[in-house]
Amino acid sequence: MPHGNESGRRSSSQASACYARRSAVRDAEAARVRGPRWRRGALSLLLLAGLFTLAGCAGTPSAPNRYTLPEIGKVTPAAGISAPTLVVQPVAISNYLDQEGIVMQLSDIELNSANQNLWADSLGSQLTRNLRQTLTQALPQTLVLGAGDAGDARLSVEVDRFQGRYDGQAVVSGEWQLREGNRVVRQEPFSITRPLTADGYPALVRTLGEAWEAVGERIAGELSSSRNGH
């Protein structure tokens, strides 16, 4: 039967080993947000090994990192009852994006949803909120709402990619549609790719936020051109 101090040392050693394994898993996941392709095989093996060894660890796993998209600058809604109304419907996102984990594209066919780097709020809600703020800022003469009357112009947006990519790029793409009543007035695709300025998930989230703001500004420009008859 082991002595108390020996048992304590063994428990402490096991706890340290488990902490190191969790740290290895976290580091491997974070390293996926760097560019070089040659790292992917080694990182995948490290992450897989870490997951298997974690299965034998007791205790509560380390808390994940949670992120929100950057806030849009100061927004001043349009004033006056004569301002035209634009209803921005909730942004629709692809099924693989509709989860807590931030998505990384590992190759042309591989996708990975992070376990330790998560969205603090649902991605669809964040995209909708930021889009309305961007349009309010970019269209000062338009009343941008989340709901309105049947005759109001309605903007719907579908996002099919919102992720980091193995070559160090943030990728955002999808399609938007403007309807007036039952008539489709305009429908356009969008695709924006921006390089990450640093390694890691914080840089990825900030770059994705900048790209999404650029999408909103592009839509605003198209709407303004349509109204001006261009």
pLDDT given at position 123 = 98
Write the secondary structure of the chain as one string of H (helix), E (strand) and C (coil).
CCCHHHHHHHHHHHHHHHHHHHHHHHHHHHHCCCCCHHHHHHHHHHHHHHHHHHCCCCCCCCCCEEECCCCCCCCCCCCCCCCCEEEECCCEECHHHCCCEEEEECCCCCEEEEEEEEECCCHHHHHHHHHHHHHHHHCCCCEEECCCCCCCEEEEEEEEEEEEECCCEEEEEEEEEEEECCEEEEEEEEEEEEECCCCCHHHHHHHHHHHHHHHHHHHHHHHHHHHCCC
Give the residue-averaged pLDDT of 201-206: 98
pLDDT given at position 106 = 97
pLDDT given at position 26 = 53
Give the residue-averaged pLDDT of 110-129: 97
pLDDT given at position 40 = 44
pLDDT given at position 113 = 97
